[in-house]
Amino acid sequence: MARSTLALILTAVCAAACCGIAAAADVERLVLIDGKSAAGWQCDESTLTPAEVDGTKALLFRVQVDWEGGEPGYPIGWPRIHFGVPAGQGDWRTWEQVRLRVYAKKVGAPFPAQPLGITISSGRQNVSWEKNCSNLQAGAWQEFVFDLRDAPARDNITSLGVFISESEYSDGDVLEFYISDLELLRYTRPTLMTFQPLGDVAFADAKALSAIVDILGVAAGTTASVEIELRKGGEAIATAVAQAAEGQTQVSLPLSKPLPPGAYSLAATAGGRALSHNIMLVASPWQEVKP
């Protein structure tokens, strides 16, 4: 495979937050499919060809489901395409996500619950990682982003594959998956991915409110600052700054005095991205039993 296929492209994307402010975040990309060339890829029980769909260049992964033929011993098998990672480039520990864009076509019944899988394999035995492109719809571009950090043995990745399970389909089905982009991503600065309070309801005299943050782009051995804020009607009631390492961290916002029961929001900001959740503070039962 040409080394240029593995070119790193430093770019900026605008990442939308689910319930907060959208902000720009820097990411590095390792492009494995750019839609133009199938270099480095192989296919089994399927075809892989450069094509164009909906005005976009893509690689067409085409499968005709065949319950009789295929791999010996596994006639109802796993047609697939796969990319062999060049020797010396299998240390994926710093890559955080896999992203792909797919435009799928299929005649007849909708796509099944597990329509298209992505997998990586390491050089060690019995270690694999699989994710599924759930809710795949025919006739529209869809983007799928999977967390790579839960993949085992990421220091020695030997291949990445995209596959279907013929058992999910009917014999004879013709499936077309146009893949315009497939890439590994890593954030180059701390970026808040998710923020989840430990509960939607807390006592108004709680000493602290806790939440889980998930942050990407934090270098090993370092932490990122996370600002936690309790708000009431847009006004900041309490603020604290916590430190979080890469991945999930529990953070707390200390409260110095009991607050009036009612509806509040709890917000986290890190790396320029803010996320918030509604939280209800209710009267403490300890107050009610006081004489």
User: Interface residues with Ca ion (CB under 5 A)?
Assistant: 66, 70, 77
Residue 5 in 3-state DSSP? Answer: helix
In the bound state with Ca ion, the residue whose beta carbon lies nearer, of 71 and 150, is 71
The 3-state DSSP composition of the chain as helix, strand, coil percent (nearest 5) reads 5, 55, 40
Residue number, 77 or 271, with CB nearest to Ca ion: 77
Sign of the dihedral defined by the CA atoms of residues 110, 144, 131, 161, in that order = positive
Which residues are registered as beta bridge partners of 63?
175
| Nearest distance from C-beta of residue 76 to Ca ion, angstroms | 6
Q: Which is nearer to Ca ion, 77 or 190 (CB)?
A: 77
For residue 170, the minimal CB distance to Ca ion (Å) is 12
Q: How far apart are CA 8 and CA 1, in angstroms?
A: 15
Element containing residue 214 per DSSP (H, E) = strand 208-216
Please state the closest distance from residue 107 (CB atom) to Ca ion, in A.
19
For Ca ion, the closer CB: 90 or 115? 115
CA distance 144 to 131: 10
**Chain centre to alpha carbon of residue 173:** 29
Nearer to Ca ion, 121 or 165 (CB): 165
Shortest distance, position 62 Cβ to Ca ion, whole Å: 14
Minimum CB distance to Ca ion, residue 68 (Å): 7
Q: For residues 66 and 205, which CB has a smaller minimum distance to Ca ion in the complex?
A: 66
Nearest distance, CB of residue 46 and Ca ion, angstroms:
10
Contact 165, 53 (CB under 8 A): no
| Single-letter code of the amino acid located at 63 | V
**DSSP 8-state secondary structure symbol assigned to residue 166:** G
43 Cβ contact partners less than 8 Å away, ≥ 6 residues apart:
61, 79, 80, 81, 82
**Residue 29 backbone dihedrals phi, psi, to 5 degrees:** -125, 140
Smaller CB separation from Ca ion, 172 or 260: 172
Q: Which residue is at the shortest CB distance from Ca ion? A: 70
Give the nearest distance from C-beta 174 to Ca ion in angstroms.
13
8 A C-beta contact, residue 105 and residue 147 = no
Length of the chain: 291
